[in-house]
């Protein structure tokens, strides 16, 4: 259980009652495909340190503005937003090419931070649900 003070802060900010939860000792190791195990870990990171919590496969999902624009240019019936895909890192590539982020498996350095990029994300069924209305999109 998280701090009561933090829960109150989030509740006030979000204008809805929430309770902060911590997964302190219960972090879990997701089973990765064998090829990921060889290619996506950073140097010096042991297998048992390769853990995620509160995520299906990885803690960060990157999506470029160029890729979203490409989706919208190819699907005329609906205009998708970043909320549809729920990334927690929105980027703009220097090249301007859509889907460039799908080629970044391995290491990605942003300033002094080094991230392990495991794979392109297949995304889940939630991308077919409108985040504003909670209704399912008409499938293409």
Q: Are residue 50 and residue 113 in the same domain, yes or no? A: yes
Residues 6+ apart with CB under 8 A from 59: 52, 53
Q: Are residue 56 and residue 88 in the same domain, yes or no? A: yes
Q: Are residue 20 and residue 80 in the same domain, yes or no? A: no
Q: Are residue 25 and residue 41 in the same domain, yes or no? A: no
Residues 6+ apart with CB under 8 A from 12: none
Q: Are residue 81 and residue 101 in the same domain, yes or no? A: yes
In a domain, 20, yes or no: yes
pLDDT at residue 25 tops 80 = no
Beta bridge partners of 107: 116
Domain residues for the domain of 20 are 1-30
Look up residue 56 and give its DSSP letter.
Answer: S
Q: Are residue 44 and residue 19 in the same domain, yes or no? A: no
In a domain, 65, yes or no: yes
Radius of gyration of the chain (CA): 18
Beta bridge partners of 109: 114
Average pLDDT over residues 23-52: 56
Q: Are residue 63 and residue 103 in the same domain, yes or no? A: yes
Judge if pTM exceeds 0.85: no
Closest CA to 104 of 94, 88, 115: 115
Q: Are residue 55 and residue 106 in the same domain, yes or no? A: yes
Distance CA(80)–CA(108), nearest Å, equals 27
The tally of domains found in the chain comes to 2
Q: What is the pLDDT of residues 78-98, one digit of tens each?
A: 788 999 998 989 999 999 999
Q: What is the pLDDT of residues 63-77, one digit of tens each?
A: 999 999 999 999 877
Q: Are residue 47 and residue 77 in the same domain, yes or no? A: yes
Average pLDDT over residues 7-14: 90
Of the pLDDT bands very low, low, confident and very high (cuts 50, 70, 90), residue 52 is low
pLDDT at residue 118 tops 70 = yes
Q: Are residue 50 and residue 117 in the same domain, yes or no? A: yes
């Amino acid at each position: 259980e998280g701090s009561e003070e933090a829960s109150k802060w989030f509740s006030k900010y979000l204008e809805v009652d929430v309770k902060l939860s911590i997964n302190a000792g219960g972090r879990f190791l997701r089973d990765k495909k064998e090829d990921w195990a060889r290619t996506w870990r950073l140097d010096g990171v042991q297998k048992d340190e390769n853990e995620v919590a509160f995520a299906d496969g990885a803690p960060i999902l990157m999506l470029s503005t160029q890729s979203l624009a490409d989706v919208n240019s190819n699907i005329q019936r609906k205009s998708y937003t970043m909320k549809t895909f729920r990334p927690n890192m929105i980027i703009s590539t220097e090249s301007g090419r859509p889907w460039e982020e799908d080629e970044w498996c391995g290491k990605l350095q942003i300033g002094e931070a080094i991230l392990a990029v495991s794979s392109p994300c297949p995304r889940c069924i939630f991308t077919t649900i409108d985040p504003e209305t909670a209704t399912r999109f008409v499938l293409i």
